[in-house]
Amino acid sequence: MFSFLRNIFGKKRRQPRVAVDDFEIAYNLRRQQQQREVDRILDKISATGMDSLTKKERQILEKR
């Protein structure tokens, strides 16, 4: 009897698998790419100053 209860309550239950849809994957990849671009621009500012940025780079920073 005790071994039966131990088997039921003693086992660790597996966590259910979470389905990740394609939309979520694409969203996360896009966010990572945007963050890498912002990091690159900030590194450029650190190395050469704000005056070295292009108009497009400035727009990217303004959006963030």
pLDDT at residue number 56: 96
Return the pLDDT at 43: 97
pLDDT at residue 4 in the model: 65
Question: pTM above the 0.85 mark?
Answer: no
- What residue ranges of the chain have pLDDT lower than 50? none
Q: Is 30 helix (H, G, I), strand (E, B) or coil?
A: helix
Give the three-state DSSP class for 4.
Answer: helix
Q: 12 — alpha (psi -120 to 50), left (phi > 0) or beta?
A: beta
Name the domain count of the chain: 1
Residue 50's pLDDT is: 93
